[in-house]
Amino acid sequence: MLKPRKTHHYIRQALKNDCLRAAVGKATDLAVRKRQDLVNETPYWEDLRHHVHHLKSKVLENPEQSLMTFEARCIANGINVHWAEDAAEARQIIVDLAAQKKVKKIVKSKSLTTEEIELNPALEKAGLETWETDLGEYIVQLEGKTPSHLTMPALHLSRYDIGRLFEKKLGIEYTDNPNELLQVARQRLREHFLSADMGISGVNFAAVEEGAFVVIENEANAHLSISIPKIHVAIMGLEKLIPSLSDLPYFLKVLAPSATGQKASSYVNIIGGPQQHLMEEGPEEVHLVILDNGRSNILADASLRETLFCIRCGACLNICPVFRQVGGHAYGWAYMGPIGATLIPLYNGLSEGRYAPFLSSLCGACFDNCPMRIQIPKHLLTLRNRIAESGKTMLIERVGMKIWSMLAVRPRLYRFITGLAAIVQQLIPFDKAFPAPGYVRHRALGRMDSKGFRSRFMDSEDRREGGR
Ligand code: SF4
């Protein structure tokens, strides 16, 4: 599994990989263009953004009350509700359930929460045959890696990579024809759907009023994972609540364009309990695992609770100049891109996630593209401050900032030192005139201005005074 503290290493690897950057650039360009076309066609887009933000604020204003009501309604509907305080407890609940029910094979539909809790390795360790059924997730599972995007898990691979992967792992003849590859995956997965004892999915939205949860998808694999096996287990972060199913259309209206540039998602599965009659479609048993894993602390933090409004659409990733250069694995965790950069330290702690909030140019494009109006740049700055205050930054940075703050309050000394540095720099006979570790591996910093900002500023003030 990737680790956020190894971010530097992952970034170096990503920057060396031109194929990865080409694949990421191509896919994100298309997603950005398609989203923008749909937003342009929707004159009330900004109103929608405000409205969904308001709905989420409302339901998470009193999370305990909302969760208690949701649980009670789920139980009344025949859904078995389990609470997991952390990732380990969530994994254990699912592994124990599978053991109790004598499950041998599991089919999974795409779920970032299961990536967050590292469920697959736990299921495999318990001897459970587990298959991802979303095409992108299936490819990533065959590759032995984790998703590199919130909505496009295999974004880092080209069709040639996938052709070689299928040849090696599935023993088929090499082809890079997307249709042929799709047919192979479909054939293999069909066998698994029909023989699985348990289905596992994530949850996109959980409606408090009705005690029902919603799974959104485009491939019908979630529908098959939910409806064919006798037992269904869904796992949701406790922030997935929405007030009611009557609010769902607003979220659907912003989700599909932001996620895949579609007007609407192909399938919206609403699960409000197990099948009631023998001839009905659906699982005989439904279990819902509600995961905390640090979310309560985030909800209690007034300045950062808004980060939990995320609906995992991926629009902020597609537009982010940093993500577009390095892809999702560089962030070292299940969530990536601008929203990942805020969630990584929040879920993993400031020490483990200390590099993530710095993976941003703070250009603000993520906020402009976020359908939930999450002020990501502001939250990144809050986290940067907290990391700096807790002393988790690099030693060289801490020493540098100490020296700078010492000089900044002594203007004469500051002018003397910077003037001296500019003179010394003029004498250094090479282009990389001000070597800084890491940074100049890819670019020169340029020479310091020998005259200095202050003298230029004073000159311009003098000129202005003279002109009056
Ligand atoms: S932060 Fe906003 S844009 Fe990014 S994934 Fe979440 S909802 Fe989408």
If one compares 205 and 23, the residue with the highest pLDDT of the two is 205
pLDDT higher than threshold 70 for residue 436: no
Q: Whose CA is closest to atom 3 on ligand 1? A: 370
> Strand pairing partners for 81?
288
Q: Which amino acid is at 176?
A: D
Query: Distance between CA 69 and CA 71 in Å, rounded?
Result: 5
Residues 153, 159, 163, 164, CA torsion sign: negative
Residue 418: what pLDDT? 82
Looking at the chain, the domain(s) classified CATH 3.40.50.10420 span 44-293
CATH class of 10-41+304-393: mainly alpha
Architecture of domain 44-293: 3-Layer(aba) Sandwich (3.40)
Q: What are 431's two structure tokens?
A: 């282009």
Average pLDDT (180-204) is: 96
Tell me the per-residue pLDDT of 326-339, one tens digit each, with 9 for 90 and over.
Answer: 999 999 999 999 99
Average pLDDT (40-69) is: 97
Average pLDDT (237-244) is: 98
Q: Whose CA is closest to atom 7 on ligand 1? A: 310
Q: CB within 6 Å of ligand 1 — which residues?
A: 150, 258, 310-316, 339, 369-372, 374
- Which is the closest atom of ligand 1 to the Cα of 338? 4
Average pLDDT (194-202) is: 97
pLDDT higher than threshold 60 for residue 435: no
Residue 451: what pLDDT? 74
pLDDT higher than threshold 90 for residue 392: no
pLDDT higher than threshold 90 for residue 359: yes
* Of 272-281, 340-349, 411-420, highest mean pLDDT: 340-349
Residue 419: what pLDDT? 82
Average pLDDT (100-116) is: 97
Query: Residue 176: which H helix or E strand, with range?
Result: none
Q: In the chain, pLDDT over 90 holds for what percent of residues?
A: 78
CA distances from 354 to 31, 318, 361 (A): 30, 23, 16
* CA of residue 118 to ligand 1 center, whole Å: 22
Residue 467: what pLDDT? 59
Band the pLDDT of 400: cuts 50, 70, 90. confident
Q: In the chain, pLDDT over 70 holds for what percent of residues?
A: 94
- Return mean pLDDT, the chain: 92
Query: Residue 322: which H helix or E strand, with range?
Result: helix 321-326
Average pLDDT (96-116) is: 97
Q: What are 269's two structure tokens?
A: 């599965």
* CA of residue 266 to ligand 1 center, whole Å: 20
DSSP code of residue 73? H
Question: Ligand 1, from 55, 240, 311, 373: best to mutate by most atoms within 8 Å of Cβ?
Answer: 311
Band the pLDDT of 307: cuts 50, 70, 90. very high
Query: Residue 464: which H helix or E strand, with range?
Result: helix 453-467
Question: Ligand 1, from 250, 310, 375: best to mutate by most atoms within 8 Å of Cβ?
Answer: 310
Query: Distance between CA 245 and CA 211 in Å, rounded?
Result: 9
CA distances from 146 to 75, 111, 340 (A): 34, 12, 14
Residue 281: what pLDDT? 79
* CA of residue 152 to ligand 1 center, whole Å: 14
* CA of residue 312 to ligand 1 center, whole Å: 5
Q: Whose CA is closest to atom 2 on ligand 1? A: 370
Q: Whose CA is closest to atom 4 on ligand 1? A: 316
Query: Residue 296: which H helix or E strand, with range?
Result: helix 295-300
For the chain, state the CA radius of gyration. 26
Query: Distance between CA 37 and CA 44 in Å, rounded?
Result: 14
> pTM score, two decimals?
0.89
Residue 357: what pLDDT? 95
Give the three-class secondary structure for 173. coil
- Which is the closest atom of ligand 1 to the Cα of 312? 5
> How far out from the chain centre does Cα 391 lie?
26
Residue 434: what pLDDT? 53
* CA of residue 372 to ligand 1 center, whole Å: 7
- Give the orientation angle of helix 45-61 with respect to helix 248-260, to 10 degrees: 120
Average pLDDT (39-55) is: 97
Residue 118: what pLDDT? 96
Tell me the per-residue pLDDT of 113-143, one tens digit each, with 9 for 90 and over.
Answer: 999 999 999 999 999 999 999 999 999 999 9
pLDDT higher than threshold 60 for residue 346: yes
Residue 468: what pLDDT? 60
Residue 429: what pLDDT? 59
Tell me the per-residue pLDDT of 250-296, one tens digit each, with 9 for 90 and over.
Answer: 999 999 999 999 999 999 999 999 998 876 778 999 999 999 999 99
Q: What are 335's two structure tokens?
A: 């969530």
Q: What are phi and psi of 160, to 5 degrees?
A: -70, -40
Looking at the chain, the domain(s) classified CATH 1.10.1060 span 10-41+304-393
Could you give the residue ranges of the DSSP H alpha helices within 171-247? 178-195, 221-227
Residue 438: what pLDDT? 61
Residues 155, 157, 163, 167, CA torsion sign: negative
Question: Ligand 1, from 204, 306, 316, 319: best to mutate by most atoms within 8 Å of Cβ?
Answer: 316
